[in-house]
Amino acid sequence: MNNVEQENYGFKFQLDDFQVEAISCINKLKNVVVCAPTGAGKTVIAEYAIMKALEEGKRLFYTTPLKALSNQKFHDFSEAYGKDKIGLLTGDISINRQAKIVVMTTEVFRNMLYGTTLGKVEENLKNVNFVVLDEVHYMNDEQRGTVWEESIIYCPGYINIIALSATIANAVELTDWINEVQGETYLVNSDFRPVPLRHFYYSDSCADRILPLFSAEGRLNKKIKPEKKFRKYIKASKKDEKTHVKLIKILNDRDMLPAIYFAFSRKRCNGYLEDCRKLKLLNNFEERRLSQIIDEYILDNPYIARSKQLEYLYHGVAAHHAGLLPGWKGLIEKLFQQGLIKVVFATETLAAGINMPARTTIISSISKRSDEGHRVLTSSEFLQMSGRAGRRGMDEVGYVITIGDPYHHPEEMAELASSTANPLESKFTPRYSMVLNLLQRFTIEEARELILKSFGYHTSVERLKPLHTELERIEGIIEDITGFKCPYYLTAEDVKDYNKFKNMFIQYRKTLKVLKKQVSKGEPYPPEVEDHEQKTRELENKVKQSKCDMCKNYKKHIRNLEILPRFDRKYRRIKDSIEYEKDIYWRQFLNLMKVAELTGHLENNYPTRKGFMTAAARVENEIFFIELIVRGILDDLSCAELAAVICAIVTEETRSNFYQKYKIGKKVRKALYESQDLMKKLWRMQQEYDVTVPVNLTADYSGFIENWALGVDWEELVAGSEVDEGDLVRIFKRTLDLLRQLTMIPDINRELVKTAIMAIDCINRDPVSEVI
């Protein structure tokens, strides 16, 4: 092999320096963390590992955070390396699972490491040399971040980890942690973008042009002025074009399409789409090609033909958000990748994972609504969206356009556009299944060691920095107090005695004055007054005999002695807080153990029969789910009724003023009533032991799935409903996933398993069935 071939490692193009560096680590069989911007070419590193595994007759697991991304990688790799060599595992789909290269969601890989319903760990990981953890920055995800930490902690040492991440602020810290947990790990950190980005500004005040966001010196362009908050009211004509329509026309004229237009609500995406119905962004050839692809797609997915948004595709525009059917989104992605959709109005979920690069990204606002109210985008969110601009091999430059508004100064936009990524934060969360899986295989001491390997524990020093800073401050104050030297070498007790006598003397003197005033002039003082006067003189003598009485430092000394106990208490309290927070994950683990013991899932630190069932479950609250099963609450239900109850368990979100088009059946209501009683008991027990694992039971969608399982047509199901089709499909898929789990959990009533299998068959039909 000559030097050029060696540098390219079998690829037909010149590799970038960071790719060569990462491949070198793979050849040395070392763990490697690769941090590089979106679109920089991190997948090439994974592709080299795939080629190496195939060449050496070894196996490789490729994990992704999303089923859609796993499906996409499965198709890409099957085309590149042959269908017989590639497998797919996404929980509900299993294709060629013994293949040399298996693409899977990260949850499936984590479950394999536990060795539950997926088989023995040794069998699952036989001959596996590499695991690629794609999009490892998902560790920041509030709900699912813990899965990445668990996967890294429990991954056997003989498997080399290739962690691919977007740019993060604490890449060194992440690498140090993996090095500590898994052995020698290298960091390849690159800010190189093969397609550089240029930032622009657009607003109503300059609706006929886009302005560069930055000057040549890298500062905010002086031509950009803040938008006025109160514009003079001008009656708009119906013929007036909307801002986003004007912008798209400008981009089309300047050959800056295709574009992803990020809005932050489904309603806005759909509204923008409707406003573009008169645009014509495709040429004749593109129109014919688009019609051909749509017609072919509809043959395989007939339900697509009734979509209200179909007409907009012929204008070269589309919407993409979670409220749309997965099959519809699949069509949009296919058309966009082929350049036949010129503008996609999307929520920020499109920025995560799916391969849909564009020439331009448009960010409609630098703030969005969240659970805590309106907030400004984080640096990482802005980078993730802007990183979709610029297609390698197609564009010389990518364009990022930020829309100005009256609520944000242009300086804020410039600051966000030039900021670096946020750091990864641990979302490690012990759960019942984790507790029971670990205690199946390890002693409680070994389980503690594994829990303390979490990224959260590793980063606790940084996380607890404010407490450590306060502790150091208090420690300094205590040292100053205790370091004070009395010039007369008096002890603390001597000074306290003096202070006590002095206070007594002052009080006696005041009382004496009052007593003397009460005696008439010329009359002798009563014996009580004379006694009091005598005690006052004695106290005065004691005070004057003390060295403290003439000492200038007395006030400082006594004040120090008075405040020292308070600072001692504060010091102990902060130190206890640090210890508590440092061991928070282990405390959570122990609290979960207590609830598992009280509910009969754990005995003598080892799972019971129920505990083994719970260990195999993957649901929000595993104990709640298994208790429903073992108590017979799910028995004697039809397949449609079982689906309705399971749907209530997997539904997290609730909707206010929700129109219930379909009512649930009598047996479902009874089962939900019994489930609610169990839920309350478990919730009270969890509160007692400070366990915060949610217990979901929301029947908002149960009527829908019950009728769907009974054979109601999809069009009839959604007609007149306020529910987005995409939401229904997502809830139905979650229900399917839990029903599939139910069929694999050990020791379950066989009749219940049969009912679950029937329910799966009834639910899993178009458009709910997976599109591959």
Q: How confident is the model at residue 147 (pLDDT cuts 50, 70, 90)?
A: very high
Going by pLDDT thresholds of 50, 70 and 90, the confidence category of residue 354 is low
**Between residues 463 and 263, which one has the greater pLDDT?**
263
Over 90: is that where the pLDDT of 174 sits? yes
CA distance 188 to 95: 33
Element (H, E) at 131: strand 128-133
In this prediction, residue 660 carries a pLDDT of 67
Q: Contact 22/34 with Cβ under 8 angstroms? A: yes
Cα distances (Å, whole numbers) of residue 227 to 400, 411, 667, 752: 19, 12, 59, 63
Mapped to the 3 state alphabet, what secondary structure does 139-153 carry? HHCCCCHHHHHHHHH
Which pLDDT tens digit goes with each residue over 626-665? 999 999 999 999 999 999 999 999 998 766 555 567 888 8
Q: Which residue has the tokens 């694992």?
A: 693
For residue 45, the model assigns a pLDDT of 94
Answer whether 447's CB lies under 8 Å from 439's CB.
Answer: yes
pLDDT of 658 reads 56
pLDDT exceeds cutoff 80 at 262: yes
How large a percentage of the chain has pLDDT more than 70? 94
Whole-model pTM: value is 0.82
pLDDT value for 54? 94
Give the residue-averaged pLDDT of 190-212. Answer: 88
pLDDT in tens, 494-546: 777 777 877 887 887 888 788 877 877 778 878 887 788 888 888 778 777 77
pLDDT at 458: 85
pLDDT for the residue 557: 77
Asked if the model's pLDDT at residue 128 lies above 80, the reply is yes
CA distances 480 to 474, 476, 496, 561, Å, are 10, 6, 18, 11
Could you tell me if 424 and 137 are in contact, meaning their C-beta atoms sit under 8 angstroms apart? Answer: yes
pLDDT confidence bin for 357, thresholds 50/70/90: confident
Compute, in degrees rounded to 10, the torsion defined by CA atoms 215, 220, 223, 227. 160
The Cα–Cα gap between 193 and 166 comes to 12
In the prediction, which pLDDT does 2 show?
43
Among 87, 122, 90, 119, smallest CA distance to 104 is for 90
- Contact present, 188 and 33 (Cβ < 8 Å): yes
Instruction: Collapse the DSSP code of 389 into the 3-class scheme (helix H, G, I; strand E, B; otherwise coil) and give the result.
Output: strand
In angstroms, the CA 763 to CA 769 distance is 8
Summarize pLDDT for 52-63 with one digit per residue, the tens: 999 999 999 999
* CA separation for the pair 273, 250 (Å, rounded): 17
How far CA 180 is from CA of 20, 133, 153, 186, 599, in Å, comes to: 25, 18, 10, 12, 36
Is 139:646 a contact under the CB 8 Å cutoff? no
Tokens of 601: 């899932």
HSE at residue 149, side-chain half, CA atoms within 13 A, is: 29
* pLDDT at 236 > cutoff 70: no
pLDDT over 90 (residue 330):
no
Q: Calculate Rg over the CA atoms of the chain.
A: 34
pLDDT at position 232 is: 46
